[in-house]
Amino acid sequence: GKGPVSAYQHVNGGGWIANTATVADTACIGPNAKVYGNAMVSDNAMVSDNARVSGDARVFDNARVYGNAMVSGNAQVSGDARVYCDAWVFDNARVYCDAKVYGDARVYGNALVSGNADVFGSAKVFDNARVFGDALVSGYARVYGNAKVYGNARVSDSAIVYGDAWVFGNA
């Protein structure tokens, strides 16, 4: 409120909202969470713990951002998606449906993570990559370029999937 950015405490949760950001009264912003820049949090979305939403990022529907997670740039987190622990979603990335990004994972560029997909550990999904279905990307794996990982596929350890590659798993 009296810091370098004009801000107020959100009515639902007490978290700090910069006057330049937009947060719906139906959303919940926990007491240590911050929303700033031109970010928008709407619907029944929740930002809690030490999480940050900034830039022109959007968090909406029933999405949750918590722990020490960061959503920034033009990123969007929606549906019932979760971004937590120390994960970052930024640039123009999208995380939606029931997808989860957690651990120290990074999703950025124009990447999409959707369905029931999980990206976790220190994994990175970036460029125009797509991870969807029930796919898991974990460890120090990298998925980038125009690569697609879907179905029940598992990409882990130090695996690299890039270019126009498709990795499909079938249960």
Query: At residue 1, does pLDDT exceed 80?
Result: no
| pLDDT, tens only, 108-141 | 999 999 999 999 999 999 999 999 999 999 999 9
Bridge partners of 100?
Answer: 82, 118
pLDDT band (50, 70, 90) for residue 171: low
What does the pLDDT read at residue 5?
Answer: 75
Bridging pattern class, strands 16-18 and 7-9: antiparallel
| pLDDT, tens only, 50-91 | 999 999 999 999 999 999 999 999 999 999 999 999 999 999
What does the pLDDT read at residue 169?
Answer: 87
Report the alpha-carbon distance of residue 89 to residue 100 in Å, rounded.
11
